């Protein structure tokens, strides 16, 4: 049996989709697609994303986009001939970062409710707040050969805080480049929110 699928995608927010964030959307879509063309029912609960890791020198947003990547050793941007300074102790997470999105089917409907949690991360010089995800997915059979799928969701905005490095003269620097703290623009993360509509017709 051949498939003809027409997709209409609308992204809300400034971030583009990435492989990690698409894991949830593809997983839930595949689950609904399978049920839409069979006589089965949605599972009561399942996990579409799970990740546990300790961040070292590289920190990401709750949707998997890169926030900060720090070299193991750096020199001052003002003087490339200066000593190398080890950054890893400053940018090693104190605890493992936990990331999870679970999905629950609403009885007597074709709808999934998605609830997610990201524990954030914290080291000596950077902290990323914990955040939550809420979304839903549903489908509607138009006739025996076509169906409409709808998915939407979004992460809560993260709060990112950084601490400067301080030299023996009490001067403050941004650690990854050893530039003046007063010249540094703080990191920010745009919360990823999406809405996606897919129409599928089978022949």
Length of the chain: 203
pLDDT over threshold 50, residue 78: yes
User: What pLDDT is attached to residue 111?
Assistant: 92
The CA distance from 124 to 28, in Å, is 37
User: What pLDDT is attached to residue 7?
Assistant: 45
Q: What is the mean pLDDT of residues 100-114?
A: 91
pLDDT over threshold 70, residue 81: no
Range in 8-12, 118-122, 154-158, 164-168 the model is least confident about: 8-12
Confidence of residue 22 (pLDDT cuts 50, 70, 90): low
Q: In 3D, which of 195, 149, 196, 147 has the Cα closest to residue 3?
A: 147
Give the single-character DSSP code of 124.
S
User: What pLDDT is attached to residue 27?
Assistant: 84
User: What pLDDT is attached to residue 84?
Assistant: 83
Angle at 130 between CA 12 and CA 62, to 5 degrees: 40
User: What pLDDT is attached to residue 20?
Assistant: 55
Cα 199 to chain centroid, rounded: 26
Confidence of residue 77 (pLDDT cuts 50, 70, 90): low
SS3 (DSSP) at 69 = strand
- What pTM does this model have? 0.80
pLDDT over threshold 60, residue 12: no
Are the CB atoms for 133 and 118 separated by under 8 Å?
A: yes
């Amino acid at each position: 049996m051949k498939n003809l699928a027409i997709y209409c995608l609308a992204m809300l927010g400034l971030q583009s989709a990435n492989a990690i964030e698409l894991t949830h959307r593809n997983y839930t879509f595949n689950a609904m697609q399978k049920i839409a063309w069979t006589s089965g029912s949605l599972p009561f609960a399942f996990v579409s994303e799970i990740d546990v890791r300790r961040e070292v020198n590289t920190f990401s947003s709750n949707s998997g986009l890169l926030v900060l990547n720090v070299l193991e050793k750096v020199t001052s941007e003002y003087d490339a001939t200066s000593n190398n300074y080890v950054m890893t102790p400053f940018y090693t997470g104190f605890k493992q970062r936990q990331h999870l999105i679970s999905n629950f089917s609403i009885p007597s409907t074709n709808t999934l409710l998605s609830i997610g949690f990201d524990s954030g991360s914290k080291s000596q010089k950077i902290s990323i707040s914990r955040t939550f995800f809420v979304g839903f997915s549903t489908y509607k059979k138009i006739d025996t050969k076509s169906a409409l799928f709808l998915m939407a969701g979004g992460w809560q905005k993260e709060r990112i805080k950084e601490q400067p490095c301080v030299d023996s003269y009490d001067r403050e620097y941004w650690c990854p480049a050893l530039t003046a703290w007063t010249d540094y623009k703080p990191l920010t993360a745009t919360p990823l929110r999406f809405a996606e509509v897919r129409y599928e017709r089978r022949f």
